[in-house]
């Protein structure tokens, strides 16, 4: 089983705020894949489905952000989930608004929800997808993350949510390494020196070179 946990705060007061990016991405992922996140279990709202032949559990902790780890500890222990089978989606003020980053493991940084998860699980070697909410004009951090998006920011976030859904599908189907390679920003390569073309070389190149995630096609729900 794979588990995707989206972090956020419950309640209408926090809907569509920057700190609820995990919820926003998970809701979009669930809608695209026909999964209903409505069961209450393990201090969370959960939903299950089969994607690309994999059983996938979607989790939205209802403990409020700073206690997210309490919910995920119950999920991990109940289902016997290994660290590499858990993906956590959350907001990150340290990367640009609307950008995304996938990582195999790492520290919590300044994110209290991730601090709680790492403390409760006592591991940090699980994949995570960070969605950027950073901007040069943050002001008070608590006020910043608990506010909504401007019209300009909303456009970037809509695109980021769509990209995040595709990245999660890629992780399910192809694994974290391929997903990171395809969805993390790439540094601009230095322009190589031109080399003379070898005789008989196929200008089209290897048809498998640069293969990308096609996206799961086998989706059913339970």
Q: What is the mean pLDDT of residues 206-215?
A: 52
Q: Where are the domains of the chain?
A: 2-186
Confidence bin at 205 (pLDDT 50/70/90):
very low
Q: What is the mean pLDDT of residues 117-124?
A: 98
- Give residue 92's pLDDT: 94
222 pLDDT above the threshold of 80: no
Superfamily, domain 2-186:
Peptidyl-tRNA hydrolase (3.40.50.1470)
204 pLDDT above the threshold of 50: no
Q: Is the separation of the CB atoms in 114 and 128 below 8 Å?
A: yes
Q: What are the residue numbers of the active site? A: 19
Cα(102)–Cα(115) distance, integer angstroms = 17
- Give residue 188's pLDDT: 65
């Amino acid at each position: 089983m794979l588990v995707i946990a989206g972090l956020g705060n419950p309640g209408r007061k926090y809907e569509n705020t920057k700190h609820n990016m995990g919820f926003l991405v998970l809701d979009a992922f669930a809608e695209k894949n026909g999964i209903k996140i409505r069961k209450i279990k393990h201090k969370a709202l959960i939903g299950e489905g089969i994607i690309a032949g994999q059983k996938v559990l979607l989790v939205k902790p209802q403990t409020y952000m700073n206690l997210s780890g309490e919910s995920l500890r119950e999920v991990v222990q109940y289902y016997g989930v290994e660290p590499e089978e858990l993906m956590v989606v959350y907001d990150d003020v340290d990367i640009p608004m609307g950008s995304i980053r996938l990582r195999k493991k790492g520290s919590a940084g300044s994110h209290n929800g991730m601090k709680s998860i790492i403390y409760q699980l006592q591991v940090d070697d699980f994949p995570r997808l960070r969605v950027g909410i950073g901007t040069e004009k943050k002001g008070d951090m608590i006020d910043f993350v608990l506010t909504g998006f401007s019209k300009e920011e909303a456009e970037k976030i809509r695109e980021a949510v769509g990209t995040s859904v595709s990245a999660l599908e890629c992780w399910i189907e192809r694994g974290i390494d391929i997903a990171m390679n395809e969805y993390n920003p790439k540094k601009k390569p230095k322009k190589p020196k031109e080399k003379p073309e070898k005789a008989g070389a196929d200008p089209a190149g290897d048809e498998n070179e640069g293969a990308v995630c096609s996206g799961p096609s086998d989706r059913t729900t339970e």
